[in-house]
Structure 1
Amino acid sequence: MGGEWQLASSISEAWRFRGLHTAQAHPVGAFARPDWIPARVPGSVHADLIRAGLIADPNFGLASLEAEWVSARQWVYRRTFCLELSPSPRLHLCFEGADHGGEVYLNGEWLGSLAGTHTPVRLEVSGLDPDREHLLVVILPEPPAEAGQLGRTSQTQTLKPRAGYWWDFGARLVHVGLWRGVSLQADAGTALLDIWPRVTLAPDLNSAKVEVRAQLEGNAAVPVTFDLIHPDGRTETQTAVQTGEGQSSSFDLPDPQLWWPAQLGAQPLYTLRASVPGDSPQERRFGVRQVALIHNAESSARGARPYTLEVNGQPLYLRGFNLAPTDLIPGRDGMPDRERVLVTYALAAHANLLRVNGVGPVASRAILDACDEGGLLIWQEMPLTSSGTDNVPPHNPAFLAHLERDLPALVRHLRCHPCVVLLGGGNELTDERRVPVTGAEPTLQRMAQIVDTLDGTRPWLPSSPSGPEYDLSLEVAVNRPHDLHDVHGPWHYRGTDSYALHSVNRALAHTEFGCQAAPREATLHRYLTAGPLWPVDDRNPQVVHHGEWWLMHHRIEEVFGPVDDLSLYVLLTQAVQGDVLRHALLRNRARQGECSVSLVWQLNEPWPNAHNTSLIDYDLKPKLAYSRCREANAPTALDLGLAAPVADEHLILRPQVLAEVAGTGQLTLTLHTVSGMSLFHETRPLIWPAAPRSLTLTLPDQPALLRAELYSGAGTHLLARTEHWVARAQPQPFAALAQLPRTSLTAEQRGGQLSVHNSGAVAAPWVSVEAPAGATELFSDNGFALLPGETRELEVSLQTVAGAAWSGELTVRSVNADPVEVIWAEAVGGEQLRGQA
């Protein structure tokens, strides 16, 4: 029943007065006939209105303000259909989810109600006349009046995701629509509603049992046939009789193929197929693995909960990103492709975990399938979140009733996916004193009971942060570091002071921290269309509208001096975002025996922002910080141990290698002026893991480039590289970089590589390589510096969003070089996006 429907708006219940639910045609009269527009199901009302030209796309300029009326209407979906199914004893009209709820009419008669955003509903329509055309009408009410980012969590009444009610990463676009599938399903008396392969892996990992359960509706007892399809295609079959939902049969796996996170092994997937007589079969993919949270020595000593994730007995250091909603309008075309691109970007940045927090909807099927196949872990919180005024979980009867009705569907949506390794009650939930909740909180306790009943195979966290401190603060880090368990923050760029908190952090889990930046200049030009782009501060209404919490022009000028050029401004914001996030990630990773989790806020944004904490802008373009996070998370990374990129006169380095396996190599450290003059050069042998040895450098009067390169023991293979612009601590310490003389860049394709050369007499800081809209891109480095006469060879992977090879024009720029265009032709044998190291 998916595909083309029709849609009309209704102020309150005008649809009832006008008979929109009972009649397909309306005569000419005093009352205007309804104006039906084409609609898509599954889809979104906003997307249908954009396609019909009735609202401007809310992504552009200030247009979202003119679309807020959409959530003040009720919406009427309709379509006609004829039965095309073979005659069957029973027939059901099935809705996978309607946002938010609704009423269903068939041939003018009320058929039933739809539940909340996530909950499937089956309405029996047995006996429909096969020889007539039927009119199906679905009325969606106004969305519930929930709070945006600032409000009271205690007054929340539903599990509808609140991201669209206004959050710092998006506009107010309260979603409404038949956003999940609609179908007619026939059966012979018993319907197979759901199946679940519940896997128990033996402690020695050498055997597993797969308990297969089926949820049936209809006849009391029927044979259920289960086929277990192994990753190699081999099939085992069992038939059993069961009633209701419960254990029906089991398969023994004497030598199971284990599912592993991407960095630890392969991701073989089994398939369970179940069927009952007279109904369509169902399939679920699953992996054989076990997960647990365990203590490290420090979490045990502090009396904290365990934060170290263990997969198949292997402890992991969790590094990755918080995932925001993919789009505020989930009915847009190409959403599954966009979601798969985000998973690919995360894997290419060496992430092993995405936290899908309670601000947005749970991970989609496309995201879950991509993570199952790619080995990227998911920490999924239920759609419940903080609100600023209070963050107290709701106890009101309406919410508790919705919880009982709607939470089971979310658990069933998630439980077969091996990538989902952690479940949580919500984001940033606290008591009245802003102390993070514990498992004893009544609403969270009930959520945990429901999850345990329907799953029980994954660790559960009531919320994040989990306290006893909520924020990473300097006072606590210095005086009470034992109270830093799972903490959030900071998120704002504060000039050269941005590094201090991360340098003293002692948290066991740092599950949200960030730094803002502008997106690509091309992205700004594409979406900020309501006037001039400059100035990029609170004097510009559309800049405020597209990210009012993240303005940073004043901070950029504190560090770089006056900046009045948009291109320069964009590169500087992206440069500092990358520097701060790399510093935070490396400081956490260097404490790996103490810190178990390090997650950047945020990977993506669901709406185009002028400033935002995302690493990937709305057009799926990585900011320069993406490369710095990729560098810090790489299997072998260099940490210079800087407290900050500025110092009074002497800069103290503590170089060390952060790697997943022990090794030896040669470390070369250099310090150069912007003219390329060498101020320091040293090569030393290095063994890792080992405690770092301090080194003191005297800083020149002007900013200098500090670079470190790690080579293999033979000195022939580059294992890791890092570079930092450093300067003396003073007002506007890096002003000289923003005022450098112009230089010239050249670029050319050499097979699957892009060669970039600085032919000028001064350094080119933060060289940025960019592909246009429509191309997903990955370069082996980006945002790097080129000294005079230097060349950098970059590995390149370019694709369309749908995954095809891409060819076209690349742009290379720097803060002091005019953009250079180069035509990129598809390289024969080029690596795919995920494959780039």
Structure 2
Amino acid sequence: MPLQRLLIDRARFRALAPEDDLHQALEVPDGWQPAQLPGCVHLDLLRNGQIPDPFFGLNEAAVQWIGERDWLYDCTFELSAEQLAQPYVELCFEGLDTFAEVYLNGAHILSSQNMFVPQRAAAKAHLRAGENRLAVRFESALRRGKALEAQHGVRAVWNGDPSRVYVRKAQYHYGWDWGPRLLTAGIWRPLYVEAYQARIAELHVQPSLSDDLARADLLVQAHIQGEAESARLTLYDPSGALIESVQVAPLDSAVRHTFTLKAPRLWYPHGYGAQARYRVVAELIGARGVLDRRDVRLGLRKVRLVQAPLADQAGTSFYFEINNVPIFCSGANWIPADSFTPRLTATRYHEWLKLAVEANMLMLRVWGGGIYEDEAFYELCDELGVLIWQDFMFACGMYPAYSEFLENVRAEALAQLKRLRHYACIVLWCGNNEDYQIAESLQAYDPDFSGAFAQTAFPAREIYERLLPKLCAEHDPTRPYWPGSPYGGKSVMDQTVGDRHTWEIWHGNIADYQDYARYSGRFISEFGMQALPILPTLEAFTAPEERTLESAALRYHNKASEGFMRLNHYLTRNVGLADALPEYAYLTQLVQAEAAAAAFESWRLGWREHGKRYIGGALIWQLNDCYPAISWALVDYYLRPKPAYYRVKRALAPLALILSAEGPKVTCWAVSQRLQPLEATLQLDCWSLDGELRDQIRAVVPIGANGATLLLTHSAPSAELCVWSARLWQGEQIVARTARFPEPLHSVDYSAARLTVTALGEGRYRLSTDRPVRGVWLEAEDADGRWDDNLLDLLPDEPREICLTVGVGGVRRVRWYGGFAQM
């Protein structure tokens, strides 16, 4: 009989005190409520009307008791005599959060202490035909962590309760500077029973590409549990056509075969080529047919992390080559898209990743304080061509390295390596987030020491420099490993080696965002600026009377230390303050947009020709939110882009113009990710602030491939303040444009501009102005409306058309720096 899988998706649950006996609790008729699986206790309580929405107002504080209790989940399921007669019957838990004891028909069968380790238990001896009862007791992760902390000592952390470093659970559940403290528990990933004669316990396809990419060898290895006569291995090309099928006899519970491809079709990140993926199917064959079947979709690509000397600067490069093509990896950091991850669906992942691709982002960094994402996330990244920098789940803490903890981490890393290694999108495994940085701040990190790490003040180096790289080399040798982020050189702040987190702007000395170029690195894996979300999102988590700048609810949803003080600092220096919430929100959004563009543009200029690839990538903190908040996110929890999203989209365009000004002199650059040089016509205009064209230059310019090209330098015709605009033409089409306004923004009054918004039908609008105007933002009537472009700088001779691409209705209001109009 083929493998049968019985999904268990319904249960009941109740709270327990630590001293409560599980078996007695199961017999108590009162206090039970229905639960959905997969899920978590907060969602079950919310669904049953037992708690208020933790995301609204101050409700987070009112639900803290949940993380301090134990919880019991109880479910029944039916097995037939035929299923029970199979040689193997097993209970499979893809995720238990976190400290769990599992009982089947009264017998203890499993203990778990790691949210990230799937569990499988032989169950046949405890099962019966008909109804069976499964009970799972979840102990408070906070209480268990505190007990481990009492045993092993308090360790330093940034964010959250310090006991979290002892608990292999999503660290952001303990609260972060952008998210709430919501300590979940539950069966957070699928639960099922498998009954079988034989199964494919593991299917691994390890590709090897020749240096010239003309040949690929695909080593297929299938590990078998149970008895099968043979295995059939089949390879299909990216269009679905059969390439080859072979039948192999198992040897020592495994089968192996190598497929060879000549001129293989390769997988590329979007914008560089197709996302071709082959499919390998493995089938176990018994006397009566197929016993089990698994398949893997596989993108073939060669990854190299290039750290080489530079022609004329100290240090070494840090950039990725995909299929021998050097790539500037622009993009963002990714956090879990919900505090309650069981409600994330493939559809929602697709919406998020589509937003990233449409913003011209090539890479997302899956940050180390969250989760190893669901397969749907990585499958979509493969499909859409998004590169993934994958952290292991350690963040901002001094983690221990005693033997039991190391074994727990080993099981976690091995499980995740085997689960995720066939995804082409993942191009780097990284040991942690900011653990070297916190160690350095405590003077606990000596980069020259290589002895017994576990005996030092920074014991987790045993994990990051020995355990994890060894496991990666053994189980996933096709991509590089990096010990941490940031990491490199004698200090994590080194600007010449490795990757860097640039937080001198916002954190640190609260430097001006106009100075991002001063705080560069070989790869900037974090930087960012906070902003409020759009008004419908603010309204979603506040009552009407709380929609003021002084409201407790508003401030409660900014988790950053001194968040509003830092927002006000950047407003004061650049755009001025506002008393009303709508105007204040817009001003923070404008500053966030300007800061993000200043960073990306300055660092893209560090991507030059071979030997001068000074900066290999920049990942903004952060793309997304886990709940509705005031944070660094470009897109809020409800998938609503902030204005900065559109500004970043233009800054990361495959072909973009960059203007820099110093006094009356302006310099124009082009940055291109195209792999062939091109020629275009550059038009550079100088506008007075009242809308008079003072100067214009047109020139045919060559633009180099895959890098930054200096196009021209020019001086203004007078010392008066002016606005520069640049447009790049190919034939009659504008292929890139930008503008440079005087800094800081509040040095000019733009309120006199006469802005016209004309509805053209079918969601399209034309915007025009009589003089230069900054930051034109159209607010859609539909709270979830999205545009093909927004937050525009307008010039007198260049009306712009934009279109509402998601949502219905029209424009509710238009804002710009210095004014707004209700529509």
Compute the TM-score of the two structures, normalised by the length of structure 1: 0.85
Report the Cα offset of residue 228 of structure 1. 2.0
In 1, Cα distance between equivalents of 2:24 and 2:793 = 67
Aligned to 2:152: none
In 2, Cα distance between equivalents of 1:154 and 1:501 = 38
Report the Cα offset of residue 294 of structure 1. 2.0
In 1, Cα distance between equivalents of 2:510 and 2:139 = 50
Amino acid at match of 2:462: P
Give the 3 Å change call, closer, same or farther, for CA 17–590 of structure 1 in structure 2.
same
What are structure 1's unaligned runs of at least 5 residues? 27-32, 644-649, 799-805, 822-837
Q: Secondary structure at the match of 1:276?
A: strand
Work out whether 1:343 is the aligned partner of 2:353. yes
In 1, Cα distance between equivalents of 2:559 and 2:717 = 40
Aligned to 2:46: 50
Give the 3 Å change call, closer, same or farther, for CA 523–764 of structure 1 in structure 2.
farther
Amino acid at match of 1:766: G
Aligned to 1:98: 96
Aligned to 1:647: none
Give the 3 Å change call, closer, same or farther, for CA 762–34 of structure 1 in structure 2.
farther
Give the 3 Å change call, closer, same or farther, for CA 525–743 of structure 1 in structure 2.
farther
Work out whether 1:359 is the aligned partner of 2:356. no
Work out whether 1:620 is the aligned partner of 2:636. no
Amino acid at match of 1:62: L
Give the 3 Å change call, closer, same or farther, for CA 198–300 of structure 1 in structure 2.
farther
Aligned to 2:767: 757
Q: Please, which of 11, 27, 30 is the counterpart of residue 34 of structure 1? A: 30
In 2, Cα distance between equivalents of 1:769 and 1:514 = 24
Which has the higher mean CA deviation after the structures are superposed, 784-793 or 352-361?
Answer: 784-793
Aligned to 1:330: 341
Report the Cα offset of residue 197 of structure 1. 0.8
Amino acid at match of 1:331: P
Report the Cα offset of residue 244 of structure 1. 6.2
Amino acid at match of 1:345: L
Aligned to 2:115: 117
In 1, Cα distance between equivalents of 2:760 and 2:268 = 37
In 1, Cα distance between equivalents of 2:490 and 2:766 = 47
Amino acid at match of 1:160: K
Aligned to 1:706: 724
Report the Cα offset of residue 795 of structure 1. 4.3
Q: Please, which of 55, 60, 77 is the counterpart of residue 59 of structure 1? A: 55
Aligned to 1:567: 582
CA contact (8 A) 2:506 2:528 kept: yes
Which has the higher mean CA deviation after the structures are superposed, 102-111 or 495-504?
Answer: 495-504
CA contact (8 A) 1:471 1:489 kept: no
CA contact (8 A) 1:194 1:214 kept: yes
In 2, Cα distance between equivalents of 1:717 and 1:436 = 56
Give the % identical residues.
Answer: 26
RMSD of equivalent CA atoms: 3.1
CA contact (8 A) 2:759 2:765 kept: yes
Aligned to 2:742: 726
Q: Please, which of 241, 262, 272 is the counterpart of residue 234 of structure 1? A: 241
**What is the CA deviation profile of residues 123-152 of structure 1, one whole-angstrom value per residue up to 9, with x for unaligned ones?**
222266665322211111112538874379
CA contact (8 A) 2:13 2:32 kept: yes
Q: Please, which of 419, 426, 443 is the counterpart of residue 425 of structure 2? A: 419
CA contact (8 A) 1:747 1:812 kept: no
In 1, Cα distance between equivalents of 2:277 and 2:69 = 45
Report the Cα offset of residue 652 of structure 1. 3.1
Q: Secondary structure at the match of 2:134?
A: strand
Work out whether 1:180 is the aligned partner of 2:198. no
CA contact (8 A) 1:223 1:277 kept: yes
Report the Cα offset of residue 207 of structure 1. 1.5
Q: Please, which of 664, 685, 690 is the counterpart of residue 679 of structure 2? A: 664
In 1, Cα distance between equivalents of 2:308 and 2:573 = 41
Report the Cα offset of residue 363 of structure 1. 2.7
Give the 3 Å change call, closer, same or farther, for CA 699–164 of structure 1 in structure 2.
farther
In 2, Cα distance between equivalents of 1:723 and 1:155 = 47
Aligned to 1:285: 297
CA contact (8 A) 2:596 2:644 kept: yes
Aligned to 2:610: none
Aligned to 1:831: none
Aligned to 1:802: none
Aligned to 1:717: 733
The aligned runs of 1:494-643 (5 Å cut-off) are 498-529=512-543, 531-535=545-549, 540=552, 542-549=554-561, 550-551=563-564, 552-592=567-607, 593-610=613-630, 612-642=631-661
The aligned runs of 1:217-232 (5 Å cut-off) are 217-219=225-227, 223-232=230-239
What are structure 2's unaligned runs of at least 5 residues? 1-6, 147-155, 451-460, 608-612
Report the Cα offset of residue 532 of structure 1. 2.2
Report the Cα offset of residue 554 of structure 1. 4.1
CA contact (8 A) 1:604 1:618 kept: yes
**What is the CA deviation profile of residues 189-216 of structure 1, one whole-angstrom value per residue up to 9, with x for unaligned ones?**
x332221111111222122111111233
Aligned to 1:372: 382
Give the 3 Å change call, closer, same or farther, for CA 285–590 of structure 1 in structure 2.
same
Which has the higher mean CA deviation after the structures are superposed, 492-501 or 308-317?
Answer: 492-501
Report the Cα offset of residue 302 of structure 1. 4.1
Report the Cα offset of residue 530 of structure 1. 8.1
Aligned to 1:145: 145
Give the 3 Å change call, closer, same or farther, for CA 244–182 of structure 1 in structure 2.
farther
Aligned to 1:451: 472
Which has the higher mean CA deviation after the structures are superposed, 414-423 or 226-235?
Answer: 226-235
Give the 3 Å change call, closer, same or farther, for CA 774–272 of structure 1 in structure 2.
farther
Report the Cα offset of residue 438 of structure 1. 9.2
In 2, Cα distance between equivalents of 1:55 and 1:699 = 65
